[in-house]
Amino acid sequence: MRVLGIETSCDETGVAVYDGDRGLLSHALYSQVRLHAEYGGVVPELASRDHVRKLLPMIRSALAQAATTPQQIDGIAYTAGPGLVGALLVGACLARALAFAWRVPAVGIHHMEGHLLAPMLETPAPAFPFVALLVSGGHTLLVEVDGVGRYTTLGESLDDAAGEAFDKVAKLLELPYPGGPALAKLAESGIAGRFEFPRPMTDRPGLDFSFSGLKTAVLTARKNAPQDDQTRADLARAFEDAVVDTLVIKCERALQQTGERRLVVAGGVGANRRLRARLKERVEQLGGEVFYPRLEFCTDNGAMIAYAGYRRLCAGVPAAPVSVSARWPLDSLMAA
Ligand code: KG4
Ligand code: ZN
């Protein structure tokens, strides 16, 4: 079975072709970062219009790169939520129209399921069951995963998502959008331990997160500290260490609570090198194993949607009208 995948939930247009026997045949990604940079964040209407401009030419080139004709496509997968409704509708409508024209099924994919299954595109792929840490711009989730669509949320952020906290702290350190990667880069030249921020909600049981207090702690420290570049780097380092420590502590707790030994890390913040190194070290100390997607598949991409679509189409997909959801609990998915 060969599946065309389409991702348009936010500010990245992603397209990919996945084949059940041969794996990923092609993928294309266009980031709207420059379009939104002057506004310091994503402007939803501009995002939708840009997806309209880019999507069809990208589908043509992804098919050509995969040496695939429309007649060889057996199904189309698109992100149906959560995300920006206008942006989602661009992908959903085009996917449904192509599916109608090509007489193949279309399937709406949960964006976080896409992230969660992205490590399956790597070798070795994690076997079920596992615990997944999903850390993106909109979500921070710890999920127990027993199979495709068999998800139990163990913990989530009560306020800002981890990526959102990176972006907000980056802004108050006057770094350009998108803040996460810029902050991580600045932190590289920071001195560890000069500033010390709390590890929120680690002093009590449970697997929920809260990152908004950290942002305030950085703001207060910045106001009271010298305004030189080294201080900015030291603040960035202390913030990154606090987030990474918090995520490591909660992952360790989730593995202990569930008795699982495999941890999957996905979503944009999963591209953070310090987080990847620290989690690998700690989980291996505990006798477990960590699985990541390659760096480019941590952030939004079409490959994860094509793969999730392949798994869902193999399991059979009930006919459904075109619909997208800005909010969509992961636990409500049907098992595949
Ligand atoms: O998964 P993603 O591409 O989009 C959403 O579904 O939200 O995640 C984007 C988030 C942004 O908040 C971005 O700042 C963050 O991931 N991010 C990072 C890094 N790369 C991306 N945060 C920390 N370190 C990074 N290297
Ligand atoms: Zn995402």
**pLDDT tens digits, 248-297:** 999 999 999 999 999 999 999 999 999 999 999 999 999 999 999 999 99
Collect all residues with Cβ–Cβ distance below 8 Å to 244 and sequence separation of at least 6.
272, 274, 275, 278
Q: Which ligand is nearest to the CA of 113?
A: 2
Ligand 1 neighbour 32 (Cβ under 6 A): no
128-292 matches 2-116+297-332 in CATH topology: yes
**Residues 121-149: what's their mean pLDDT?**
97
Ligand 1 neighbour 271 (Cβ under 6 A): yes
pLDDT of residue 57: 98
Q: How far apart are CA 119 and CA 176, in angstroms?
A: 29
Cβ(192)–Cβ(241) below 8 Å: yes
pLDDT of residue 121: 98
Q: At residue 141, does pLDDT exceed 70?
A: yes
Distance between Cα 168 and ligand 2 center (Å): 17
Q: How far apart are CA 334 and CA 85, in angstroms?
A: 22
pLDDT of residue 334: 87
pLDDT of residue 177: 86
pLDDT of residue 151: 96
Residue 70, Cβ neighbours under 10 Å: how many?
12
Which of 84, 166, 171, 186 for a ligand 1 pocket mutation test, highest count of atoms within 8 Å of Cβ?
Answer: 166
Q: Which CATH superfamily is domain 128-292 in?
A: ATPase, nucleotide binding domain (3.30.420.40)
Q: How far apart are CA 135 and CA 142, in angstroms?
A: 9
Q: What is the pLDDT of residues 221-244, one digit of tens each?
A: 999 999 999 999 999 999 999 999
Distance between Cα 163 and ligand 1 center (Å): 5
Nearest CA to ligand 1 atom 26: 272
Distance between Cα 288 and ligand 1 center (Å): 25
Q: Which ligand is nearest to the CA of 297?
A: 1
Q: How far apart are CA 127 and CA 144, in angstroms?
A: 13
- Pairing assessment for the beta strands 140-147 and 2-7 based on DSSP bridges: unpaired
Reduced to 3 states (helix: H, G, I; strand: E, B; else coil), residue 319 is: coil
Q: At residue 101, does pLDDT exceed 70?
A: yes
Q: Which percentage of the chain shows pLDDT scores above 90? A: 94
Distance between Cα 134 and ligand 2 center (Å): 9
- Return the bridge partners of 141, or none: 134, 156
Q: At residue 321, does pLDDT exceed 80?
A: no
Round the average pLDDT of the chain to a whole number and report it. 96
Q: How far apart are CA 186 and CA 189, in angstroms?
A: 6
Ligand 1 neighbour 299 (Cβ under 6 A): yes
Q: At residue 322, does pLDDT exceed 90?
A: no
Residue 158, Cβ neighbours under 10 Å: how many?
13
Cβ(95)–Cβ(106) below 8 Å: yes
The ligand 1 atom at the shortest distance from the C-alpha of residue 138 is 7
Task: Name the residue among 270, 262, 265 with its Cα closest to residue 296.
Answer: 270
Q: At residue 319, does pLDDT exceed 80?
A: no
Distance between Cα 166 and ligand 1 center (Å): 8
Cβ(46)–Cβ(148) below 8 Å: no
Cβ(3)–Cβ(73) below 8 Å: yes
Task: Say yes or no: domain 2-116+297-332 is CATH 3.30.420.40.
Answer: yes
**Residues 47-73: what's their mean pLDDT?**
98
CA distances from 158 to 174, 190, 211 (A): 26, 29, 8
Reduced to 3 states (helix: H, G, I; strand: E, B; else coil), residue 2 is: strand
Please report, for the chain, the start and end positions of each structural domain, with discontinuous segments joined by +.
2-116+297-332, 128-292
Name the DSSP class of 176: P
pLDDT of residue 320: 73
